[in-house]
Amino acid sequence: MTPPSAETLDSLWARHHAEWREPAQIASHWEDAAATDPALLRFKTKGGWWDILEQKKMTLLITREYEHLVMALTAAKGKPLVSFLRMPHPSGLVVDREKNVVHIASTRNPNQIFELSPATGVMPRLDVKAEALPQRPLVPIRSRFFPGSLYMHDLALIGGQLHANAVGQNAVVRLGSEGCERVWWPRCIETKKGPIFGQNHLQLNSIAAGDDIAGSFFSASTDVVSSRRPGHRNFPVDRRGVIFSGRTRDVVARGLTRPHSARLHEGRVWVDNSGYGQLGFIEDGAFVSTTPLPGWTRGLCFHGRTAFVGTSRVIPRFRQYAPGLDVDKSACGLHAVDTRTGEIQASLTWPGGNQIFAIDWMPRKVSCGFPFLMHEGKGAAARIKKMFYAYEADPQVELEK
């Protein structure tokens, strides 16, 4: 074999030397993260969307899984601020508002859990001028890897500890620094040979977190284990979805169609009835719809009497999973819903968007979002590199009121 020439070696070295230089790549462990299609970020609003966010002094966080994109929306002094971070297939999202930490599940193989906290300033150095970061952008402070077969979906804090739906195991796991531990599963997967953890049979995909596991509830597409499994085109979905009780491990509500994003709010279990594009709650063992929405409902959080609900387009090969939707008119967006009346107060939609998975919020004073802005000014690249080069991030820092 002829050894490479000096010219070839120089060319290889130059290429390797130039690779992995963008902070976006390092922050997400993803080489293509530095390139973001602007069409994914363009939005339209209806109603007083930004007024609602400003009045509530909140930053809304959203995972858009199939676009490998996490976004943040906020507004101050009448001006919207839209920011983002690229991440491989982000799904579950939960904000620890006591510790100022954001947890995001990245569910490619292997699964990852990213933890982010606000960067409050740039540390003093001889080569960098110290400064405060008034928008306190969220930066990764830790990531942990888990087996892809967990197929994590929703994330929730139960008793102050991070939990996830291990959809690939029909179970709920507690996530710790040393790995994960199965802590709950429905009675319907138990057999004489033991629980069925080896394959996804139920699409057990969300957690309505209570004070403990017993006080929590979990949504699934079915409670019947069969040869037809979630992901199969002939998997029966219409009104087969259920809500499980954490305490009894049995079904407490039926009649849903591909439910997602179950949440406990003011003593009620709320849930997105995805296949019919509805938001509603559970009452007397049945789903009560409060609001029809224009798409596959997934993603739900509450701030006072406002529910923030996500809608998605329907993946064409799974049209049959949405029997109650006009699939061709489904939109990717967010909707602020009055929980007292069911009225849609305002909406934001992404015409070039596809799928939303999870939504949560944090106080605007804690963070205004992510480091990468939709509308960057001059010197954006230098700003980003400087911030990542010398940021200070302390989740427990005392923040100004």
Q: Kindly report whether the peptide bond that precedes residue 371 is cis, defined as omega within 30 degrees of 0.
A: no
Per residue of the chain (401 residues), give pLDDT as tens.
788 899 988 898 898 988 888 889 988 888 888 788 888 999 999 999 999 999 999 999 999 999 999 999 999 888 999 999 999 999 999 999 999 999 999 999 999 999 999 999 999 899 998 899 999 999 999 999 999 999 999 999 999 999 999 999 999 999 998 899 999 999 999 999 999 999 999 999 999 999 999 999 999 999 999 999 998 889 999 999 999 999 999 999 999 999 999 999 999 999 999 999 999 999 999 999 999 999 999 999 999 999 999 999 998 888 999 999 999 999 999 999 999 999 999 999 999 999 999 999 999 999 999 999 998 877 788 989 999 999 998 766 555 44
DSSP state of 177: T
Q: What are the residues whose beta carbons fall under 8 Å from the beta carbon of 266, sequence distance 6 or more?
A: none
Give, in order, the Cα–Cα distances in Å from 172 to each of 100, 137, 205, 358: 24, 31, 9, 17
Torsion angle, CA of 320/342/204/187, rounded to 10 degrees?
Answer: -120
Q: Where are the domains of the chain?
A: 23-29+39-393
In this structure, whether the domain defined by 23-29+39-393 belongs to CATH 3.10.180.10 is answered with no
Q: Amino acid identity, residue 328? A: D
| pLDDT in the model for residue 218 | 98
User: pTM to 2 decimals?
Assistant: 0.95
Radius of gyration of the chain (CA): 22
| Residue 61 in tokens | 């966080």
- CA–CA separation, 312 and 321 (whole Å): 13
| pLDDT in the model for residue 35 | 82
- CA–CA separation, 166 and 129 (whole Å): 45
Residue with tokens 């009894």: 248
Contact in structure between 53 and 75 (CB atoms under 8 Å):
yes
